[in-house]
Amino acid sequence: MSEQLAMVTGASSGIGEAFARELVRRGYAVILVARRLDRLIALQAELGKGTEVLAADLATEEGMGAVAARLSRGGISLLVNNAGLGFRGLVVDQPEASITRLVRVNLEAPMRLSRGAAAQMAGEGRGTLINVASMGAFQPVPYLNVYAATKAGLLSFTEALADEVAGFGVTVQALCPGNIPTGFQDVAGTKGSRFDRTPSMSAGEVARRSLDAALQGGPTLFLPARMDRISIFAQRFLPRFVARRVAGSLLKSE
Ligand SMILES: NC(=O)c1ccc[n+]([C@@H]2O[C@H](COP(=O)([O-])OP(=O)(O)OC[C@H]3O[C@@H](n4cnc5c(N)ncnc54)[C@H](OP(=O)(O)O)[C@@H]3O)[C@@H](O)[C@H]2O)c1
């Protein structure tokens, strides 16, 4: 029996690690992508020999190129573009380099890898692509500004791509989690904020529910928690400036 092959970026921690575990549980061989090789190797040892490790920094041309090259070898029927990070604070206090890093990892890399994967999958007449956006994609978020802007861009790109490739047997899902306890809060510096106390679910549940929906061919937009759906509903019907102020109040220093 030939095993299906998946690739997960940002597999060294949090939601990506949970996707890798869940995919292996469902019988996939998985290519694990991230920078921290030690963590990838430890996960590979746990998940078994079918697992492959690819250390790459998706903020660099070289890293994006290495992952794209692996994709172009073909055979990958499911890609999770999950690697991502945020920085809390005022934009004016952020070094330009961190803005570049966020735009590359959160937006440029998933767009380029989606393009490569979708072309490959459309050629094979089947495939599943999951792009991890965020609830932050639905309104501007003061104090998590660049992060929310990259996620809004990724959501827009992913939903448009879903329509473009729907006729070729390729399912594209924009996954929009709320606040999930992972390494994200440490990297972004959101610990202790009101955001940190918003409703939450485990990374394992996010991965399970995302794959359940995507492998059934839809819906392309996946909104996990009930509270999140209420909040999306509110965002659609509240004036945009109200949604933005509420989001900013969750991230502002108290
Ligand atoms: N946690 C939340 O509340 C939440 C909510 C909505 C959306 N999300 C999204 O979920 C995704 C996963 O985040 P998480 O919550 O699981 O956070 P996490 O535990 O910090 O994991 C982030 C992953 O991204 C990888 N990564 C970061 N920079 C990278 C780079 N330059 N090159 C390659 N890989 C890189 C990290 O690996 P290395 O450090 O080893 O490179 C790590 O595996 C992100 O896209 C995030 O925006 C998270």
pLDDT of residue 242: 86
**Which residues are CB-contacts of 49 (< 8 A; sequence separation ≥ 6)?**
none
Nearest CA to ligand 1 atom 1: 180
Question: Best substitution site from 82, 155, 201 to test ligand 1's pocket, by max atoms within 8 Å of Cβ?
Answer: 82
* Helical spans, DSSP H, in 176-225: 184-188, 203-215
The candidate with the shortest Cα–Cα distance to 206, out of 82, 45, 35, is 82
Q: Counting atoms of ligand 1 from 1, which one is nearest the CA of 135?
A: 6
pLDDT of residue 223: 67
pLDDT of residue 240: 86
Coil, strand or helix: which one is 174? strand
Coil, strand or helix: which one is 13? coil
Q: Counting atoms of ligand 1 from 1, which one is nearest the CA of 40?
A: 40
pLDDT of residue 1: 42
Q: What residues flank ligand 1, with Cβ below 6 Å?
A: 10-16, 34-36, 57-59, 63, 82-85, 105, 132, 134, 177, 179-180, 182-184, 187
pLDDT of residue 244: 87
Half-sphere exposure of 162 (CA within 13 A, CB side): 21
Q: Counting atoms of ligand 1 from 1, which one is nearest the CA of 60?
A: 31
| Domain of residue 181, CATH code | 3.40.50.720
Distance 237 CA to ligand 1 centre (A): 30
Coil, strand or helix: which one is 9? strand
Identify the domain containing residue 51 by its residue range.
Answer: 5-251
pLDDT of residue 210: 95
Q: Counting atoms of ligand 1 from 1, which one is nearest the CA of 85?
A: 47
Distance 85 CA to ligand 1 centre (A): 5
* Cβ-contact 244, 140 below 8 angstroms: yes
pLDDT of residue 181: 94
pLDDT of residue 140: 93
Q: Residue 72: enclosing H or E segment and its boundaries?
A: helix 61-72
- Report the DSSP beta bridge partners of residue 80: 8, 130
pTM comes to 0.95
Residues of the chain with pLDDT under 50: 1
143 is catalytic: no
User: Total domain count for the chain?
Assistant: 1
What's the chain's average pLDDT?
92
Q: What angle do CA 122, 76, 72 make, to 5 degrees?
A: 75
Q: Which of 87, 147, 184, 195 is catalytic?
A: 147
Half-sphere exposure of 54 (CA within 13 A, CB side): 23
